[in-house]
């Protein structure tokens, strides 16, 4: 194939690949927010078929010839095209080893399992979900072994969400964190009465919570012309290019801070997607590069920015006005302390910053055990509850608040959870670096979130998938150092709890 | 190709074809209800690419061989498979004559034009929309000539929406109707003061209107597990199979009846789609057969049922309760008269039953003139306003309330409008037939809309696309007789206005 032909074919390939990605993504978003309940069956058919088309495109003889030609002419290509070709070829190498029927069946399983999970969670009935969950782990393991026959299948999955991440690195990271955080958690627990968050647990009108969401998106500088907020069971973000990003939240009358921090968290994901480079858009490089880098944005905005004293001070006048008179007697400083109240709890997405990573470690241990075959899906509720007792010292009252709480396994995202903890830890290093360039607290107090956005856009967002995640992180912060995150947490919670 | 192979290939073809239909449909629905405004550009790319895939599937060598094999073995096939094959072959014959780039460009034009139309309507600025509209007519004409080179292109478009419909038949139908309805409209106008609908034009809370929509869907027996109600600029219905139907409405504070009758109208479309035969679902036969048959369901529920004295009596207690005290002094009989107030008006979708078809005739004349080349897009506002004066005797104050009001041309639905009038006329004949089987008024009064639904399901809905539209209609009502509709309108409005 001539180079010019290959370049032309790349354009056609990208268009088709983007259309399939866009259509599947919308199908998923719609299913989670809008679609009638009885539509899950037909959606599964369509999602299966779209993934079949995607597989066919990736593995088509013509596609491979195009990629081989581009790679052979690598030196003549501009950096964007070169990266596109090498990333597409990597996809091909992983995908073509999976038999097509296995590939399609897996996609269908994801949409079916998601639908069953919703019902099982609502009914707090694990037995409904158990067979799907077992199939999901089995199928994921098989696919991992197809993709990388010589590698531990769980490591292949870690690498799928965070390229280069290994079991050894995870073990080391979590060990460090556990050693620092568990004693800190116990010290905080002894002073639990120093922070009273009862005022946050009053009944806040949902219409007002919706207005708060709009306000927060504006404060964060999210372009509403390209980003909407939907409502769903389990908040998530999805993007169909930098021109169409969807974030979601869930409103509870008696937990307005839950929805508020979902919006800020998902807003962090959205900002990343909305600012990938124009020249990458609608291509395989035009999205966030990995899950840890993605979560490092969302968790950074949610916690390091969103739960800072300065951010609380910035938004509190609006919060107070909206929820007046419920927060009449609360000051901005008290609000800051309340939303940072730390205590071992059941639900990961509502966990405080200090205990959050312990929730992740539990999931990491369970995923490993499922992959090692030392437990099966049937054992998961019991093991889940046992680990919550071991790590957080609490009893799980029912599976709805336990093993059924997260959507990840239902959606096939096995090996994803560690990214949350690594991303959280990355954030502490961004914060340190950012402060070398300007006074971040002062920028927040001044309402100048745009300055933070510009810094991240320049260092991370605009690159999309142009760099590997580790290289991208190191280009900004140097070597990854989990103790930086542990220090950040220790300083913050020591101060709040007067330890 | 062996018959067994062809039958297997048909299944694969259907799955893929359904997935592309489903994905495009959802993309359109989302764009009209939910998507961020700035997403139109990427949506156009994806819709163009999905239509390219659809074209490739329809015209693939393998698809044609499969269809030729099935048709050669026609006698051995069950009736459903036989019909599937012959209808797919008809699609192929029409589609393959259109050059693929023309086909894709047309789909992209549809999504771009729709987006521009929204903005142009909001700004009441026809000049923004004019170039797109001209391109839309030009492109439609070219495509019609590709599909049926020897035929008048407008007749090809009529036939696209209503198989077998001709210009001559339309002319005759509209002439008959005009002769009967225009004099009746003038007689009613002289007695205009006999019906006062001022109470309907008060300010009704939108949250309450939403509750009314839910109630109406329940009264109509619409299965909410497979049908949702969205909100949009211009109400429409779309279906992604009988398991996932979407209807939409638009709320105006000072016109609650507008939204109410949109819900009933779109609900009629939904009932049809929700009750196509199970054995046809997710195939090319598993949807409403034509636009006139579709509109004959929606307009039947909206007007013949929904604006009947009995239906008004049935729902008025709920309406009054919701909108109390705004309707305190109104009786069910007065409500019936109000929602049937007839007077020449600007907006088709809000026109009363009597003047409605005159709005259609205007659009029919304009479409014909655009196809004949006697006018261009630039002339449309002027011609529109001239015809509104001629037919309805009213002045159009601005293009927002004139030529920009409908979404059809922006979506490429040229030749569709006559279906509304023909469908409306069909309804009067259903009503006559239905009354031979049971007392329709008594059923409505008893709240037994299910009886009406069952009758239509049995005679029409379950057949999907198994019969041609004319054959389907004639199997229920015998020969089409427009005077039946004129009689129905004359009786109804003569009684209401005491002529």
Is B390 a known active-site residue?
no
How far is the alpha carbon of B227 from chain A, nearest alpha carbon, in Å? 6
Across the interface, whether the CB atoms of B19 and A223 are under 8 A apart is answered no
Whether the pLDDT of residue B478 is over 90: the answer is yes
- Alpha carbons A315 and A19: distance in angstroms, whole number: 39
pLDDT of residue A234: 87
Which residue from A247, A224, A23, A16 is spatially nearest to B43, judged by alpha carbons?
Answer: A23
The number of residues in chain B equals 499
Whether the pLDDT of residue A115 is over 90: the answer is no
Q: Is the peptide bond before A336 cis (omega within 30 degrees of 0)?
A: no
* Option in A16, A34, A282 nearest B42 (CB): A282
Q: In Å, what is the CA distance from A478 to each residue of A432, A470, B242?
A: 11, 10, 56
- Alpha carbons A39 and A428: distance in angstroms, whole number: 43
Q: What's the average model confidence in pLDDT over A488-493?
A: 97
- Alpha carbons B448 and A477: distance in angstroms, whole number: 70
- Alpha carbons A55 and A66: distance in angstroms, whole number: 16
Q: Would you call B159 helix, strand, or coil by DSSP?
A: helix
**Active-site pick, A130, A155, A162, A266:** A266
Contacts of B17 (CB under 8 A, 6+ apart): B54, B57, B58, B284
Phi, psi angle pair for B268, to nearest 5°: -65, -45
pLDDT of residue A338: 97
Helix axes A167-190, A418-437, angle to 10 degrees: 80
Phi, psi angle pair for B286, to nearest 5°: -90, 50
- Alpha carbons A256 and A99: distance in angstroms, whole number: 46
Looking at residue A352, the DSSP 8-state letter turns out to be -
Mean per-residue pLDDT of chain A: 96
| pLDDT tens digits, one per residue of B167-199 | 999 999 999 999 999 999 999 999 999 999 999
| pLDDT tens digits, one per residue of A229-270 | 999 988 999 999 999 999 999 999 999 999 999 999 999 999
Cβ neighbours, 10 Å, residue B182? 16
Whether the pLDDT of residue B66 is over 90: the answer is yes
* Option in B30, B52, B224 nearest A36 (CB): B224
Q: Which residues, numbered 15 to 74 in chain B, qualify as contacts with chain A under a Cβ-Cβ cut-off of 8 Å?
A: 15-16, 18-19, 22-23, 26-27, 30, 34-39, 41-43, 45-46, 49-50, 52-53
Whether the pLDDT of residue B265 is over 90: the answer is yes
What percentage of chain B carries pLDDT values higher than 70? 100
Q: In Å, what is the CA distance from B242 to each residue of A39, B226, B245, B246, B274?
A: 9, 7, 6, 10, 4
Phi, psi angle pair for B245, to nearest 5°: -120, 140
- Alpha carbons A111 and A407: distance in angstroms, whole number: 11
| Residues of chain B neighbouring A37 (CB-CB closer than 8 A) | 225
Cβ neighbours, 10 Å, residue A456? 21
Angle at CA of residue B196, ends B194 and B197, nearest 5° = 145
**Active-site pick, B112, B155, B266, B302:** B266
pLDDT of residue A345: 95
| pLDDT tens digits, one per residue of A327-357 | 989 999 999 999 999 999 999 988 999 999 9
State the DSSP string of B414-430.
TT-HHHHHHHHHHHHHH
| Residues facing A228 on adjacent strands | A246
A148–chain B Cβ distance below 8 A for any pair: no
Contacts of A79 (CB under 8 A, 6+ apart): A466
How far is the alpha carbon of A239 from chain B, nearest alpha carbon, in Å? 11
Which residue from A259, A258, A272, A255 is spatially nearest to A220, judged by alpha carbons?
Answer: A272
Contacts of B317 (CB under 8 A, 6+ apart): none
Helix axes A418-437, A291-299, angle to 10 degrees: 60
Q: Would you call B41 helix, strand, or coil by DSSP?
A: helix
* Option in A15, A50, A282 nearest B23 (CB): A50
pLDDT of residue A107: 86
| Residues facing B415 on adjacent strands | none
Q: What's the average model confidence in pLDDT over B225-231?
A: 97
B107 or B155, greater pLDDT: B155
Interface size, chain A vs chain B, as Cβ–Cβ contacts under 8 Å: 111
| Residues facing B249 on adjacent strands | B231
Tokens 């302390």, residue located = A337
CA torsion through residues B432, B437, B438, B440, sign: negative
Across the interface, whether the CB atoms of A45 and B230 are under 8 A apart is answered no
pLDDT of residue B253: 95
Q: Name the residue of chain B whose CA is nearest to A231's CA.
A: B34
pLDDT of residue B104: 87
pLDDT of residue A233: 84
What percentage of chain A carries pLDDT values higher than 90? 95
Whether the pLDDT of residue B233 is over 90: the answer is no
pLDDT of residue B64: 97
Confidence band for A108, pLDDT divided at 50, 70 and 90: confident
pLDDT of residue A95: 93
- Alpha carbons B466 and B498: distance in angstroms, whole number: 45
| Residues facing A245 on adjacent strands | A227, A239
Cβ neighbours, 10 Å, residue B398? 14
Q: Is the peptide bond before A325 cis (omega within 30 degrees of 0)?
A: yes
Contact B212, B322 (CB under 8 A): yes
Q: Are strands B245-249 and B227-231 parallel, antiparallel or unpaired?
A: parallel
Q: What's the average model confidence in pLDDT over B384-407?
A: 96
Whether the pLDDT of residue B257 is over 90: the answer is yes
Q: Where are the alpha helices (DSSP H) in B36-76?
A: 40-59, 61-72
Whether the pLDDT of residue A111 is over 90: the answer is no
pLDDT of residue B266: 98
| Structure-token pair, residue B58 | 């329809």
pLDDT of residue B111: 83
Across the interface, whether the CB atoms of A243 and B26 are under 8 A apart is answered no
| pLDDT tens digits, one per residue of A184-230 | 999 999 999 999 999 999 999 999 999 999 999 999 999 999 999 99
Q: What's the average model confidence in pLDDT over A20-47?
A: 94
Mean per-residue pLDDT of chain B: 96
Which residue from A413, A498, A493, A399 is spatially nearest to A127, judged by alpha carbons?
Answer: A399
- Alpha carbons B69 and B230: distance in angstroms, whole number: 43
């Amino acid at each position: 194939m001539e180079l010019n032909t290959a370049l032309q074919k790349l354009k056609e390939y990208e268009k088709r690949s983007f259309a399939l990605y866009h259509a599947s993504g919308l199908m998923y978003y719609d299913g989670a927010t809008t679609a009638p309940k009885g539509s899950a069956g037909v959606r599964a058919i369509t999602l299966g078929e779209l993934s079949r088309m995607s597989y066919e495109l990736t593995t088509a003889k013509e596609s491979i010839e195009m990629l081989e030609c581009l790679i052979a002419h690598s030196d003549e290509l501009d950096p964007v095209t070169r990266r596109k070709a090498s990333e597409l070829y990597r996809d091909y190498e992983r995908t073509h080893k999976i038999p097509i029927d296995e590939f399609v069946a897996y996609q269908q399983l994801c949409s079916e399992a998601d639908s069953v999970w919703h019902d099982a969670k609502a009914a707090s009935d694990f037995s409904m979900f158990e067979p799907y969950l077992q199939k999901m782990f089995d199928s994921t393991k098989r696919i991992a072994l197809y993709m990388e026959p010589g590698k531990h299948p769980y490591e292949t999955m870690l690498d799928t969400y965070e390229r280069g991440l290994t079991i050894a690195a995870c073990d080391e990271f979590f060990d460090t964190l556990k050693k620092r955080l568990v004693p800190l958690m116990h010290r905080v627990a002894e002073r639990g009465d120093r922070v009273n968050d009862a005022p946050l647990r009053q009944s806040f009108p949902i219409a007002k919570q919706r207005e708060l969401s709009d306000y927060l998106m504006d404060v964060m500088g999210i372009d509403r012309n390209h980003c909407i907020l939907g409502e769903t069971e389990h908040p998530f973000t999805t993007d169909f290019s930098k021109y169409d990003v969807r974030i979601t939240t869930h409103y509870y009358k008696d937990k307005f801070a839950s929805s508020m921090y979902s919006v800020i968290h998902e807003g962090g994901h959205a900002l990343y997607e909305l600012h990938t480079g124009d020249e990458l858009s609608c291509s395989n490089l035009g999205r966030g590069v990995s899950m840890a880098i993605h979560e490092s944005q969302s968790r950074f905005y949610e916690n390091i920015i969103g739960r800072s004293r300065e951010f609380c001070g910035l938004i509190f006048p609006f919060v107070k006005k909206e929820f007046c008179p419920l927060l009449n007697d609360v000051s901005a400083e008290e609000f800051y302390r309340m939303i940072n109240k730390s205590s071992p709890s059941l639900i990961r997405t509502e966990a405080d910053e200090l205990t959050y990573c312990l929730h992740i470690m539990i999931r990491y241990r369970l995923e490993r055990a499922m992959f090692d075959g030392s437990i099966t899906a049937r054992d998961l509720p019991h093991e889940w509850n046992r680990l919550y007792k071991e790590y957080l010292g609490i009893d799980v009252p029912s599976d709805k608040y336990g093993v059924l709480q997260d959507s990840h396994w239902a959606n096939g995202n096995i090996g994803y959870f560690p990214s949350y903890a690594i991303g959280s830890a990355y954030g502490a290093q961004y914060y340190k670096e950012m402060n070398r360039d300007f006074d971040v607290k002062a920028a927040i107090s001044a309402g100048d979130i745009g300055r933070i956005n510009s810094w991240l856009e320049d260092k991370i967002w605009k690159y999309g998938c142009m760099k590997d995640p580790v290289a991208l992180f190191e280009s900004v912060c140097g070597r990854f150092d989990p103790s930086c995150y542990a220090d950040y947490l220790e300083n913050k919670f020591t101060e709040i709890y007067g330890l």
